[in-house]
Structure 1
């Protein structure tokens, strides 16, 4: 049986999840090896009723409070209640907030959890980039249903740079090459077509792009890759697939990546709302 500590507990009281306060307290406690001080997190505290219940519990446990209340009204309520009940408390943000108010001559937004949200946003972007690289150029098509956006197109329609650009904003993107004679993965037609974008391009512009590539990598300049008739067949084949799947068709001729990305995001926002994580939450 685990021995119960007789040490007075430290209660972390926060208007958010209590992560910042808990991290700071644990960083201090680690300097005292083998300590047996219990640490209790009391998150999402804002009302006087919550404060009364918590302080009564702290009083009964002979504990102390360390708080990170960024809302100045809730912070004042907690401090007043602690002082009224003679509970020892440590304000981990108040003094610094007062200093910043003065030196910056502005008021804070007082929104709990902003630091955690910033970290979440950063890691979402990292995960989105990793996902996108793993699902580039038709890789792992069995898992493209977990993508936020799926791009399809023939060679040299800019699928990869567009995918990476979107991933930098936190979108998980998969892209699928369209090659006549090569079966298209069935999963492409099993996912929500409102999230699939078929990229098309003018034949002249596509041939120019491919010709440039042919010169760079010393390909046969007479190959089917740049043959007008073959290129026309590729574009028609792709157009038929887009129609079959009910995909949104985007013409990327002479458009920078940023423009096409914005076009996609505008369409998705109109379809699913502004919360881009709604369909495929991590």
Structure 2
């Protein structure tokens, strides 16, 4: 009795082929089938590539597992498998057909969507971590690395805005402007179009700061919430913003979403 040839599993995909490979490995683990080899052929975009794979596969003891959502290529592969008498397993189509029957709409037929979603998710996580790391001027090196830099006096929604924009995959650093502390030099070394100054009505700021002190269990008559102090801070901040030549947004009567909308529009314009 001759020695049985090694089983070769060909994975064909119009994306990276990760799904097909994982399914193939899960399936073959159910067998004591000895040696096997997996050969992955990602980014199948034309019929010539499929023909080349079958020319190679016809000499092997093999099966083909494929995740191709482009209908024309999928049908071509199915026909070739019949022509060469090679077993070919279509992983995606039965699932797509079942979902289509339930939701009543056609699939997009666009390869690599799950990877795009994964990349988008990781970009968001990265942006959130960035916002935390470079919040409140903790590390001014972030100014040069950020997509957007928010500056303003205390309680002008710098942190909430940073986090909101981070969820839109935008890396944001924010820097408080305090009269006793010179602004970081990095602010004057970056493109002013990526700096956004935040200001607010002094009466509104006074209310917010008094509430903040109350929440902390402190005397709401502290200098931090006094009108003279607030006016002094706003005047100082506006001088810095004018010197930088940056866009200024009055957040007095704006929800975080509204202010973020203005910033996102500026980004789109750029």
How does the TM-score come out when normalised to structure 1? 0.86
CA contact (8 A) 1:29 1:35 kept: no
Structure 1 residues 129 and 30: alpha-carbon distance in aligned structure 2, compared to 1, 3 A threshold: farther
Structure 1 residues 166 and 7: alpha-carbon distance in aligned structure 2, compared to 1, 3 A threshold: same
Q: CA deviation at 1:34?
A: 9.7
CA contact (8 A) 2:153 2:177 kept: yes
Distance between the aligned counterparts of 1:34 and 1:191, measured in 2?
A: 62
2:86 aligned with 1:87, yes or no?
yes
Q: More deviation in 75-84 or 45-54?
A: 45-54
Show CA shifts across 1:164-194 (max 9, x none). Answer: 1222222222111111111222222222322
Structure 1 residues 72 and 207: alpha-carbon distance in aligned structure 2, compared to 1, 3 A threshold: same
Q: Any stretches of 5+ residues in structure 1 without a counterpart? A: 1-5, 272-282
Q: How many aligned positions are there? A: 266
Distance between the aligned counterparts of 1:197 and 1:95, measured in 2?
A: 51
Say what the alpha-carbon RMSD is for the aligned residues: 2.0
Q: CA deviation at 1:235?
A: 0.9
Partner of 1:279: none
Distance between the aligned counterparts of 1:47 and 1:145, measured in 2?
A: 43
Structure 1 residues 32 and 150: alpha-carbon distance in aligned structure 2, compared to 1, 3 A threshold: farther
Partner of 1:245: 244
Partner of 1:153: 152
How does the TM-score come out when normalised to structure 2? 0.90
Partner of 2:190: 191
Structure 1 residues 66 and 138: alpha-carbon distance in aligned structure 2, compared to 1, 3 A threshold: same
Partner of 2:166: 167
Partner of 1:200: 199
Distance between the aligned counterparts of 2:39 and 2:247, measured in 1?
A: 51
CA contact (8 A) 1:10 1:66 kept: yes
SS of aligned partner of 1:65: strand
Show CA shifts across 1:249-272 (max 9, x none). Answer: 11101110111111110111111x
CA contact (8 A) 2:11 2:40 kept: yes
2:32 aligned with 1:44, yes or no?
no
Partner of 1:278: none
SS of aligned partner of 2:89: strand
